[in-house]
Amino acid sequence: MDLVCPAGSLPALKAAIDHGADWVYLGLRDSTNARNFAGLNFDRAALLQGLAYAHARRRKVLLALNTYPQAATWRRWTDAVDLAADTGVDAIIVADLALLDYAHRTHPGLTLHLSVQGSATNYEAINFYQERFGVTRAVLPRVLSLAQVELVARNTSVEIEVFGFGGLCVMVEGRCALSAYACGDSPNTFGACSPGHAVRWEETAAGLESRLNGVLIDRYAPGERAAYPTLCKGRFEVDGATYYAVEEPASLNTIELLPDFLRAGVRAVKIEGRQRSPAYVAQVTQVWREAIDALRAEPERFVPRAQWIAALGRHAEGSQQTLGAFSRPWK
């Protein structure tokens, strides 16, 4: 299995490569990617430096063009596809049908991966993308059980990639309307859930408050760890009780499922976190590199090591970890 790691900056890219990533995925400094935050991402010069660094070490670079173009800004996305082809990016990650069509027709030699934002949850959909656009890998949405992942992998020749570690949303893969409702910017077109320009922090008599375009998201007691304000992970009063009404903050951590992924035919495991620091990228990449290598060496004897669990736990959102939809003991 390939290890696919995030890079929100050139230092993060180098950290991922140096600590064992097979692929590094990144975005441009605009709305063509779903982590469109100030201070993140790559311009052409940084992209060329990153490509040179990765290719010198026989690693590969993915460019995420995983938002949806609008009619008035179509050229921005096609220019990004052209840039990927011109600079020698190893593959692009695309969700939009029209952009896939453009890339396939205009740059037939450019490798295409289907983004998780494309929401292809069954093999018929994935095979459609392969037949029409030549997609070679599909990133599965985080809504499938292990049995469903295996069913998909068994019925397509497209490589299957799953998320292994990192933050979770409410499992609509970028189509959530909550951020758009509060901020007026759709994450799937603007490229950022809870964009920085809408975020406000204020010390009040009741505690530290986080707001999103005026909407109270959470209130923290002294010494309580504060999280970046997103509507789905805020605490709200419902029927007289205040709690995480939509979703508790937790990180996906599937390291114990690596043997199951291998048996199911998963070709790549992806780490979420382009908005995270180079230190995060280095530490998480190193753990997953060691785990995948241990699985490869002795697949029947694989057991997650205590130090791996501890290291990943330090980076878990809300200090909580989950297997997400992969584990459905009730089913």
Contact 34, 61 (CB under 8 A): no
Is the pLDDT reported for residue 269 higher than 80?
yes
Contact 31, 190 (CB under 8 A): yes
- Per the listing, tokens 């921005």 go with 76
d(CA 53, CA 66): 24
Give the pLDDT score at 136.
98
* Integer CA distances (angstroms), 55 to 39, 89, 264, in order: 25, 10, 30
Dihedral angle of Cα 122, 124, 125, 126, to the nearest 10 degrees: 80
Give the pLDDT score at 266.
98
Summarised one tens digit per residue, pLDDT across range 146-190 is 999 999 999 999 999 999 999 887 767 767 788 888 998 888 888
Give the pLDDT score at 107.
98
Q: What would the mean pLDDT of 19-39 be, rounded to a whole number?
A: 95
Position 129, amino acid? Y
Q: Which residue has the higher pLDDT, 248 or 207?
A: 207
Q: Where are the domain boundaries for CATH 3.20.20.70 in the chain? A: 2-168+250-326
Give the pLDDT score at 270.
98
Give the pLDDT score at 185.
85
Is the pLDDT reported for residue 81 higher than 70?
yes
Q: What would the mean pLDDT of 272-287 be, rounded to a whole number?
A: 96
pTM for this one?
Answer: 0.92
Contact 126, 120 (CB under 8 A): yes
Position 218, amino acid? D
Spacing of C-alpha 137 from chain mean position: 15
Helix (H, G, I), strand (E, B) or coil at 67: coil
Work out the percent of the chain whose per-residue pLDDT is above 90: 79
- Bridge partners of 210, per DSSP, are 201, 218
Q: Which CATH number fits domain 2-168+250-326: 3.20.20.140, 2.60.120.10, 3.30.43.10, 3.20.20.70?
A: 3.20.20.70
Give the pLDDT score at 316.
87
Q: What would the mean pLDDT of 277-305 be, rounded to a whole number?
A: 97
